[in-house]
Structure 1
C-alpha cells in the first residue's frame, strides 16, 4: 500500500514539474521578446490567453507561435509538405541562415567562444515572424554590440515602464496563474534592469 502511495506522489510531482516547466518557458519567451524590443500590447490571445506582443509592426502570441513551430517540426518528417516546401517559406530561412554565417564571420574572435546560441536567437525570431520581418531587418543597419550610454538610458526607462505595467497587470489579474506569470515576467525585467544599472 505504501509503495503505491509513493509512486502516486512521484507522478503528481512529475506532472507539477512539467506544468511549471511550461510556465517557465512561456515566461522566458516573453522576457526574451521584451529584451529584443518587442512591446506587450493590452490584448490577450483568444486561444491561450497569453499577452499579445508587437514587434516590427506585427502582433503575435509568442506561446501559440512557439506551439505552431513545434507542431510544424514534428509534422515535417512524415508529411507530404516536407517533400515539396513552399518557396515563400524556405526563402526567409535561407536568408536568415546566410546572415547568421555572415554575422559569425564579422564577429570579433573573442566573442565567438562566448555564447553562440545568443547570437543565433534573433535569427530564429526572424524566421518565425515571416518574410516581411526579415526584409525589414535587412534594411535596418546592424547596431553595435555594446550600446552607447544614451541607448542604455532609453532601455532603462522602457524596462521601468514594462515592470510597472506588468505589476499592474498582475494586481488586476483575476486568475492567480496569470498574476504569477506577470510577476515572473516583471521579476525578469527587474533583473535585466539591475544588470543594466551595473554597467
Structure 2
C-alpha cells in the first residue's frame, strides 16, 4: 500500500514539474527561457497640414475656371492593418443646412461657402458635414508608411482639394473670411 502511495506521489510530482518553468542546471554553460508578449495598440496620426490663404481677385473672375482651388498634400499614418485602414472626417462650420456638402468661412457681411475633397490614391471623396469615409494609408504608393510623417514614402499619402466656386465668390461681399478646418483620422 505504501509503494502505491509513493508511486502516485512521484507521478504527481513529475507532472507538476513539467507544467512549471524550470531553472537551468549548473554546468560549463547554462540557459533558461521565458515567454515574451508585446501588444501594439492601433493608432493613427495626421501630419503635414499647413494654413491656406486664397487671394481671390479679378484674375480668377476674368478666367474661365469655375473654381479656385488649392491642393495641399499631407500624411495619414495608420497601423490598423497591413494596408493602414482609417476613417477620415472633416469638420468646420456647415454652410446652410449642410445637406449640400459645403462649409463656410465667416466674413464681414455673412459667409463664403467652400468645399473640401480628400484624395488618397484613386479614391476621392467630397468631405461634407456628417461625412466619414474609409481610406487606406497604402492607396497612393501601394506601401503603408512606416513613419508618422510619411517620409519613407515620399512625404504624403493624401491630398485635400479646397475649392471656392465662382458663384459663391460673386455672391460674397468684399472682405476677409476666416475659419478653421479640422481633419480627423480614426482607427477602424
Greater per-residue helix proportion? 1
Q: Please give the range of the TM-score, normalised by the shorter of the 2 chains.
A: under 0.3
TM-score calculated relative to the size of structure 2: 0.20
**Which protein has greater RCO, CA pairs closer than 8 Å, 6+ apart?**
2
Give 1 or 2 for the bigger CA radius of gyration: 2
Greater per-residue strand proportion? 2
